[in-house]
A = this chain, B = another copy of it.
Amino acid sequence: MIDAKEYLKKMSAELDGPIKSYIGDEEPKNLMDSSKQYPYAGGKRMRPAMAVACCRAVGGDASKAVPLAVAIEYIHNFTLIHDDLMDGDEVRRGMPTIHVGYGMPTAILAGDALFAKAFQIICGLDIPAERMRDVLDYVSTAVWDLARGQQMDVNNERHIVTEDVYIETIKLKTSVLFAAAAAGGAIVGGADEKTVRAINEYALELGLGFQMFDDYLGIAGDSAKTGKSVGNDIRKGKCTCMVTHAIRSIKDPAVLEEFKSILGNIDATDEQCIRAKQIMQDAGSIDYALDLARKKVDIAISKIEDLPESEDKEFMIALAKYAINREV
């Protein structure tokens, strides 16, 4: 069985050079430096690895998927730059965020620049123009959806939404880019439409599981590893499927009242946040979320069962499991 984390590390090392090769020494220097900072600093590289693996899993030439992998990673990092600015986050990957290091205008422009560069790279893919058009369709739609998902995420803060709205939100803000990476890789690899669709669905479900688990880590993870305190999401009033489950499951009105009074309270004490977590635990909400994430990953894996056996298919399965079995 492939160790997804090790395999990711290996692929990440191979992708490092290409990721650092598309932004040159053009003027102005502060825009180039700020655009490079996040993609150069690393990260899990799950999305680009997925693009390459999906290309190879359908029998394609991985080297042709590498530029697409870079483009997807740039898009991911463009959203991180803009996200950090919107959220007022000050540190990422051990460095000041772009708006802190370079100011707000440069953070906006560095994001825009990475976005534009991604489409320049897709334009230059070494595949027939018809196929490039199919890739562009997936990726441009993904970015449109991403903006919608991020806006829904902003709108949901301090609002209790239904589980359906939560799932739609994380699908748009997280899954669609995974899905574009995977489907794009398969298209570059020459897959037929049915296979592209199956791989797209695999990544959509994987993305849901990934984000559910991410939300779980935000509450139940080791804060020394995740870099987030347990109170972060609770004080922000982030409406996850743990919260939606708790709201509909807590039987005691006094406890429900207490839970609601802590959620979204920016001044909540650490003790109150721990209490809110305990209330969710007692209501079975944390187990429920983990279970839901597992189900999504099971569906993801089922979507690609018709793919021929290969090391890359094995990695795709291992990656889906890793999405809900990681410390950070």
A interface with B by C-beta (< 8 Å):
26-28, 30-31, 82, 85-86, 104-106, 108-113, 115-117, 119-120, 122-124, 128-130, 132-133, 136-137, 140-141, 143-144, 146-148, 150-152, 154-155, 168
Complex Cα–Cα for A321 and B289 (A): 64
Contact among B117, B120, B143 for A112, CB-based, below 8 A: B143
- What's the least CB distance linking A278 to chain B, in Å? 32
B116 touching A143, Cβ below 8 Å? yes
Contact B123 A144 (CB under 8 A): no
**A132's contact among B106, B115, B119, B133, by CB below 8 Å, is which?**
B133
Counting from the closest, the 7 A-B pairs by CB-CB distance are A129-B129, A116-B143, A113-B147, A119-B140, A86-B105, A116-B144, A31-B151
Q: Are B120 and A140 in contact, with the CB atoms below 8 A?
A: yes
Among A31, A109, A154, residue most surrounded by chain B Cβ atoms (within 10 Å): A109
CA distance A122 to B123 in the complex (A): 12
A85, A122, A130, A133 — which one has the most chain B CB atoms within 10 A of its CB?
Answer: A133
**A115–B113 touching, CB < 8 Å:** no
Assembled-state Cα–Cα distance A43/B116 (Å): 24
Docked-complex contact A123 and B136, CB < 8 angstroms: yes
Q: Do the beta carbons of A147 and B86 come within 8 Å of each other?
A: no
**How far does the alpha carbon of A108 sit from the alpha carbon of B150 in the complex, in Å?**
10
Per the bound structure, the CA–CA distance linking A112 and B168 in Å amounts to 19
A28 & B113 in contact (Cβ 8 Å cutoff): no
Contact for A116 among B106, B117, B128, B147, CB less than 8 A: B147
* B115 & A86 in contact (Cβ 8 Å cutoff): no
* A10 to B120 CA separation, bound complex (whole angstroms): 34
With CB as the reference atom, state the residue of chain B lying closest to A138. B123
- Chain B residues near A147 (CB-CB < 8 A): 31, 109-110, 112-113, 116
Q: Are A154 and B86 in contact (CB under 8 A)?
A: no
Of the listed residues A110, A117, A119, A151, the one surrounded by the most CB atoms of chain B closer than 10 A to its CB is A151
Given A108-B111, A120-B137, 12 more A-B residue pairs with CB atoms under 8 Å apart are: A86-B108, A105-B154, A112-B115, A112-B143, A116-B140, A119-B140, A122-B136, A124-B137, A129-B130, A129-B132, A132-B133, A133-B133
Say whether B28 contacts A148, CB under 8 Å: yes
Q: Which residues of B contact A146 (CB under 8 A)?
A: 112, 116
